[in-house]
Amino acid sequence: PNGALLKSLTGGIPVQLLGGNRVRVQWTGMKPTAEIKAMDMLARARNLVDFKAALHHFQIGAMNWVVTTSKGDIGYFARADYPIRQKLDPKHPPYGVTPAEGYDFSGKLIPDNHVPQLFNPASGFIVTANNDPVGNSRDGNIFNDRYYLGFTYDSGFRAARLVEQISAQIKAGKKFTPEQMQTLQMDNYSRVGDHLVKRLALAW
């Protein structure tokens, strides 16, 4: 009832090769959602309580939201309706094609307090760069955590580079200018290259 049936995949892999003659697609956006309400409430928010109340209505298209207050608070909140699945199975991981029975959404959602968020961290700054924000994938096993949030994250090199540069600036007692933040945003130094060049040199 909550999925769309596809009898063929035009221009792609014949569905017969996927183990059957039909593919059902399930998505939390296949029902009415309230993103317009969320944006309206965000535009009117006067404090952190209003901000979090507005985000509650942002249900699909998971996004990272950052907030600052006039008191100097900083916060990061990931927001979407994260469905709890009936079953998680290493043989049929949730980021691939799963069998038809027993793997659907359960109808329940992951509670907001278990969705990635950070507020006023001791470091004094927040970094996100498509990396795994809570470390669920760090051990290579997404099936041993309380909730499944995702798996196909960035490797984390980009985030590590940002943490390194920001930490060095803070340690030196220097403040950031808008121009420096733009430079950080456009930085294309490859931490992957650091690892690769060493191995290439060794092989050579």
CA nearest 150: which of 124, 163, 132? Answer: 132
CA nearest 58: which of 79, 89, 83? Answer: 79
pLDDT at 115: 92
CA nearest 149: which of 120, 175, 113? Answer: 113
CA dist., res. 105 & res. 166, Å (int):
40
CA dist., res. 202 & res. 179, Å (int):
38
CA dist., res. 198 & res. 45, Å (int):
50
DSSP 94-133: TTS---SSS-SEEEEE--GGGS-EEES-TTS----SSB-S
Report residue 13's pLDDT band, with 50, 70 and 90 as the boundaries: low
What integer is the mean pLDDT of 199-204?
94
pLDDT at 19: 55
H-helix or E-strand spanning residue 84: strand 83-85
Percent of the chain with pLDDT over 70: 89
Beta strands 74-79 and 117-119, pairing class: antiparallel
pLDDT at 1: 46
What integer is the mean pLDDT of 187-197?
89
What integer is the mean pLDDT of 180-197?
90
Q: What is the pLDDT of residues 102-133, one digit of tens each?
A: 889 999 999 988 999 999 999 999 998 889 98
pLDDT at 162 over 50: yes
pLDDT at 79: 93
Report residue 139's pLDDT band, with 50, 70 and 90 as the boundaries: confident
pLDDT at 100: 77
